[in-house]
Amino acid sequence: MAATAFSGSVATTRTHEYIGNSTLNQDFGNSYLQLTRKGFKIDLGRSGKKQYWTRERGSCLIQASFEATTVSDEVSTPVNSTKVESVKKPREAALILIRHGESLWNEKNLFTGCVDVPLTKKGVEEAIEAGKRISNIPVDMIYTSALIRAQMTAMLAMTQHRRKKVPIVLHNESEQAESWSQIFSQETEKQCIPVVTAWQLNERMYGELQGLNKQETADKYGKEQVHEWRRSYDIPPPNGESLEMCAERAVAYFKEHIEPQLQAGKNVMIAAHGNSLRSIIMYLDKLTSQEVISLELSTGIPMLYIVKEEKYIRRGSPAAPSEATVYAYTKNLARYRQKLDEMVH
């Protein structure tokens, strides 16, 4: 009448004759198979599942395959399986760091710290030049401090990007702010880059030095004392932050909010300040407290890191677009630049 086979978690039933009015019952351990004139029924005892199929009268082939569920939900793979597991290539992402351009208080030689001061004309030009240097590097997200000079730098830099996406500051400070700043066009949203502002990326707070002239302060307290306040790692100015204190908040924010984006393959730009960026670079390059205090960052000069396999590889400062070759590019970045060239032509 019929030939049946059951092996492991796969069952195959074949019949080449009419079942007619007869019924075939067959047990397979914890599973049960019943063939009737109208169809057949499978009861998977271990999983508690019951499944039914119907068939037309006549010569036919009936085949049912199922996975028998066990306590551990493990299904063995046949030794001769030809299934090829896809090997995922490690994701690569770009991280761009930019120290803001010259501010009005930089120009006046005043301690600025967390006072919210805008850029000078020179600072605007530095931000634009920085934008030209990163104009061929993909940017998916932007993080800035809560201070206007860093935000101006980020916005001005993006005006030079060849992709021409628009940076949009996210306002999540209240439900109303979030609701009122919604974008209702998916096409428009695709052409935007979210900008996240965070006080944790602010310049270190200089306490009672903020607003004082640097030279006059050195004359009053002595050059050595002022140098110690400005360049030591763990000695803060009066009622202010040390670099160590600044690093605690800046690096913690980087690890919690920015690093997951990079590890997910997002290309990120951070526009911030000398000490908050110095703190992040200390983490990225694994610098000691002595090494970081001697680290100098120029205003408006971007630094590029490639993030791959949870490692940060410093690639230096991208050269301007007029350069024939850019040593900082990886293959992925080169492909991105090629796509930009194709879009233009």
Residues marked active site are found at 100, 203
203 is in an annotated binding site: yes
101 is in an annotated binding site: yes
57 is in an annotated binding site: no
Q: Which residues contact 21 (CB under 8 A, 6 or more apart)?
A: 37
- Could you say which DSSP state residue 140 is in? S
Residue with structure tokens 């916005």? Answer: 155
113 is in an annotated binding site: yes
100 is in an annotated binding site: yes
239 is in an annotated binding site: no
104 is in an annotated binding site: yes
149 is in an annotated binding site: yes
What is 82-127 written as a DSSP string?
Answer: ------PPPPEEEEEEEE---BHHHHTTB--TTS---B-HHHHHHH
Distance CA 132, CA 149 (A): 18
162 is in an annotated binding site: no
109 is in an annotated binding site: no
Distance CA 170, CA 194 (A): 6
Computed from CA positions of residues 114, 142, 287, 303, in that sequence, does the dihedral angle turn out positive or negative? negative
314 is in an annotated binding site: no
105 is in an annotated binding site: yes
204 is in an annotated binding site: yes
Strand partners, 27: 32
Backbone phi, psi, residue 323, to 5°: -70, 145
Q: Which residues contact 123 (CB under 8 A, 6 or more apart)?
A: 100, 101, 102, 103, 106, 149, 152, 153, 299, 300
- Crossing angle for the helix pair 121-133 and 148-158, nearest 10 degrees? 50
315 is in an annotated binding site: no
Distance CA 214, CA 23 (A): 99
**Which residues are known binding-site members for substrate?**
99-106, 112-113, 149, 203-206, 214, 230-231, 274-275
User: What residues form the annotated binding site?
Assistant: 99-106, 112-113, 149, 203-206, 214, 230-231, 274-275
